[in-house]
Amino acid sequence: MKKQKALRKHTITQWTLLPIMIVVVGLGWIYPLMGYVVPVVMVAGIVWSFYNGRYVCGNLCPRGSFFDRLMAPISGKKPIPEIFRNPWFRWSALVLLMGFMFYRMALNPTDLNHIGYVFWQMCAITSVIGVVFAIGINARTWCSFCPIGTLQMAIGGGRDQMLIDPENCRGCRICEKACPMDLEIVSHKDSGHVNERDCLRCSKCIAVCPKDVLQWPSDDKAA
Q: What confidence tens digit (pLDDT) does each residue in 120-168 have?
A: 999 999 999 999 999 999 999 999 999 999 999 999 999 999 999 999 9
pLDDT band at 6 (very low <50, low <70, confident <90, very high): confident
Residue 176 above 60 pLDDT? yes
Res. 4 pLDDT band, cuts 50 70 90: confident
pLDDT value for 98: 97
pLDDT bracket for residue 220 (50, 70, 90): low
Give the pLDDT mean for 173-198: 96
Q: Residue 47's pLDDT is what?
A: 98
Domain identity same for 48 and 145: yes
Q: Provide the pLDDT confidence category of residue 3 given band limits of 50, 70 and 90.
A: confident
From 156, 176, 211, the end of a domain falls on 156
Domain region containing 192: 163-222
Same domain, 126 and 102: yes
pLDDT for residue 221: 53
116, 139, 156 — which closes off a domain? 156
Same domain, 90 and 183: no
Read off the pLDDT of residues 14-33 as tens digits, 9 standing for 90 and up. Answer: 999 999 999 999 999 999 99
pLDDT of residue 222: 47
Same domain as 144, residue 186: no
CA distance 56 to 36: 17
Number of domains in the chain: 2
The residue out of 124, 156, 188 marking a domain boundary is 156
Tell me: do 67 and 99 sit in the same domain.
yes
| Model pLDDT for residues 53-106, shown as the tens digit of each residue | 999 999 999 999 999 999 999 999 999 999 999 999 999 999 999 999 999 999
The string of pLDDT tens digits covering residues 189-218 is 999 999 999 999 999 999 999 999 999 997
Q: Are 48 and 133 contained in the same domain?
A: yes
Residues 92 and 116 both lie in one domain? yes
CATH number (domain holding residue 208): 3.30.70.20
- Per-residue pLDDT tens for 40-49? 999 999 999 9
Residue 188 or residue 223, greater confidence: 188
